[in-house]
Amino acid sequence: MNFINLSNIRVRFYRLNSFQIFALSFFICLTFYFFEFILNIDRFYHPDSAHYLSEYRNYNFKAYIKNPLIIFSTTYYHVTNIFSNNYYLLILINFILYSLTNVLIYQKIFKKYFDSLNNIKLFLLFYLLFLDPYRLHLASHILKETFLIYFLILIILSNLKIIKIISLIFLESFRTNSWLYIFIFLTYFNIKNFYLVIKKYLKIKNIMIIFALLILIIFIFYFQDQNILKYLQNEFKEILEKMKFYNDRKMPIRPYDHVTQFKDLEFPIGFILKNIAWPIMLISGLFLFFVSSILFKFLGVIILLNNLLIYLITKKTYISLGLVLILLLISVYTTSYTSMFRYSYIAIYGSIVYFFLNFNFKKYKKKD
């Protein structure tokens, strides 16, 4: 009976070392993997899973000797190639990376809340950081996301700049334009600090002088070369054409994905409405009312639940300016809401980790 006492469990859990956290995380991941098997969720539910085992790109030893830098091009194919496209070895790598990520989060974030949160809130935080069902789902399939989450968490939690730089390089090499995830660092607090630094070194008078010089340079270019107006018009036209390209592109859409793309409205009105509505529906979880799949509705409930739990623990929201910007850019890029969710989840989970890393709970309690 003494063992099931929450305070006793709390003490035991605080004393866990990195290896024990790794083993516990691996066991959780393995349990979830068999749970999905019981639910009869296809191991190749995601088309990418089968694609990565199809030997789409093979590299031999001579290719690496000839050009070692190819490792930074479509890197996940190199991973599948190294492990001979073996399904079980690749799943094992996912489990290991999931567990290593948890070790980092436990040591850097979770342990510092032991003295600040009661037993219930500490359990809720454990769920948010370690037991998110969709993160476990991604780790149970042959996908890039577990790698991407690992590198993003290294960027967030590592104290060494060289580790951050290397992680950013691999983040981008696993999926093009993944550097956008670092916008999670764009928060109101960081923007305010940046403004204070600029204000410290540049007085208002100097800023006005710089601004006046920029205006003067623009006018000089304009009067010397009337083509500058034509240049600006061409640039605007190219931007519109790029937007239309993303609006018209096709991505695989699941039969249960009924989230509107506003295609019935003319461009660019429909495109603009889509990129306003999609991020809002995602960050709120309200997309659950526009899909017919029970599992996809469950993901909407998870988003709603995460928002609620974070507010219950901190009385604040983790949603930042940077996260909204990332979701907007992903919305522009995608034309399938299932893809929108999958790409956005990395930013959402990274934002939650970054939020709890920087949240000063003791200072908040004093104010409260």
Residue 24 has pLDDT above 80, yes or no: yes
Q: Residue ranges of the domains in the chain?
A: 17-176, 181-368
Half-sphere exposure of 270 (CA within 13 A, CB side): 13
Rounded to two decimals, the pTM is 0.86
Q: How many CB atoms lie within 10 A of CB 31?
A: 10
Q: In terms of residues, how long is the chain?
A: 368
What is the pLDDT averaged over residues 290-305? 93
Q: Identify the CA nearest to 154 among candidates 109, 101, 112, 214.
A: 101
Token code pair at residue 202: 């540049």
pLDDT in tens, 58-76: 776 666 677 777 777 778 8
Residue 16 has pLDDT above 60, yes or no: yes
Residue 365 has pLDDT above 80, yes or no: no
Highest mean pLDDT among 79-93, 136-150, 258-272: 136-150
The dihedral through the CA atoms of 252, 255, 259, 264 has a sign that is positive
The pLDDT score that the predictor gives to residue 88 is 94
- Give, rounded to a whole angstrom, the gap between the first and last alpha carbons of the chain: 36
Token code pair at residue 358: 């920087």
Which range is least confidently modeled, 3-7, 151-155, 189-193, 306-310? 3-7
The CA distance from 342 to 359, in Å, is 26
The pLDDT score that the predictor gives to residue 121 is 92
Cα 42 to the center of its chain, rounded Å? 24
pLDDT in tens, 208-263: 677 777 777 666 665 555 566 666 667 677 777 777 777 777 777 788 888 888 88
